[in-house]
Amino acid sequence: MIAVGGYEGEGVAILGLGRSGLSAARALRAGGARPVLWDDNPDARARAAEEGFELREFTRAGGFEGIATLVVSPGIPHLYPAPNEAIAAAWAAGVPVDNDIGLFFRALGQGAWDALDTPPKVIAVTGSNGKSTTSALIHHVLGAAGRASQLAGNIGRGVLDIEPPGEAGVIVLELSSYQTELARALTPDIAVFTNLTPDHLDRHGGLGGYFAAKRRLFAEGGPDRAVIGVDETEGRFLANQLSTAPADDRVIRVSVAAKPAGPGWQVAARKGFLTEWRKGRQVASIDLREVRGLPGAHNHQNACAAYAAVRALGLGPRQIEAGFHSFEGLPHRSQIVAEAGGVTFVNDSKATNVDSALKALLAFDRVRWICGGLMKEGGLDALGPGFAHVEKAYVIGREAAGFALGLSGVEAEICTDMATAVARAAAEAQPGETVLLAPAAASFDQYDNFEKRGDDFAAQVTAALGAGSGR
């Protein structure tokens, strides 16, 4: 645990008692603060009471008396579509609002690092798609190279649950827009921006607000190095904002869409090859085509971002390449769950929006596509470039019929449930094809989360293969 100091003897309110809320409460108590907690869920309050924490409903009169700051869990809206009532009450009382990410960076600044010859580093990764894989890949490559590393944030452990880093240690954080938009301290040594596509627009009041939340990671703390995906306008804008000259190597530009040009530090992937360019010259290359844990152009973009981050820490290209080859990928993200009869079964349940599903489709040539769920804003038209890769779609979810209507020109069978979709796809798949779960939709109409959906897919694949469905 990382103890959070600076609030000794003071009351600190914590709203929301999920993983991050309870973690923050424990870290604050360890640092000498007096945490005061609330959650609308009575079971969550009961768990907090069992640990001896004080409970208080902040929306009642005097709810913020004796409170120095309010720490909010990331799922609680503070601005759009409307401020949470307790947050509005904190504003009215003049109480600053923060989150566990802000506490984390504040606590690290208080660490006893003066005694270390090589202080720890923090790499923070944000973006719309690929941030989990990029974060996990950075962590894996560092470990494979013998560097002490911890993975936390929106993936792995809560940021305050990790151990205080030691000599030359590295903390890799995956940060969502919900986490970056509110943190009062954001001071990573290396910050990574993978890409930007529309998502969470209601929470941020539109695409501009969503980008602004991501941009705070770079604008608030001024990282020593910034790794920026420049295949969208927002990334090019951000890279330009952070650069002071064309050859400024504090910014490393990443692309899978354009050949590197200019004198700056760049990492690109084209036709399956990652290349590093500095001062207008190629200095390293890695063949990504045989890296099984990173299939498709979208994962090659993740590889470029991870490569740039660990290169900025001083790792060599061959060290990084070795780490890539031993990386098995993350569950629910282009995860191969079975291979039988020349057919590959891939779980990409994390493809919850149109952009990530399109990238999954483009990663494979002949796809039996399991899709559908709780549709998001914007429709399905942007999936069009991937339809040429689809042999047939098998649509699940309570809105399956409506979803299927959006798949213009694609043969679609309405299956509704996962068991039917997997059984039908497995029975019809031919050697050389891929049965791919890439829903392009949220899971909440049928599952608690995308992980449960992916687990169900894997279980149904096992059942279908065990039943001898043509394999």
129 is in an annotated binding site: yes
Contacts of 457 (CB under 8 A, 6+ apart): 337, 347, 349, 370, 418, 422, 437
**Nearest alpha carbon to residue 127 among 228, 56, 237:** 228
* 443: nearest Cα among 432, 452, 434: 452
Q: Which amino acid is at 305?
A: A
Contact predicate 434/366, CB 8 Å: yes
Q: Which residues contact 133 (CB under 8 A, 6 or more apart)?
A: 294, 299, 302, 329, 330, 333, 334
> Does the annotation flag 127 for ligand binding?
yes
Q: Which tokens sit at 317? A: 């290209």
Three-state SS at 453: helix
Closest listed residue to residue 254, CA positions, set 236, 271, 273: 236
Give residues with Cβ within 8 angstroms of 320, minimum separation 6.
141, 145, 286, 306, 307, 310, 311
What's the rounded Cα separation, in Å, for the pair 64 and 68?
8
Known binder of ligand: residue 128?
Answer: yes
Query: 130 among the known binding-site residues?
Result: yes
Per the annotation, does 131 bind a ligand?
A: yes
Q: Is 255 annotated as a binding residue?
A: no
Binding site membership: which residues?
127-133
Give the residue numbers of the binding site for ATP: 127-133
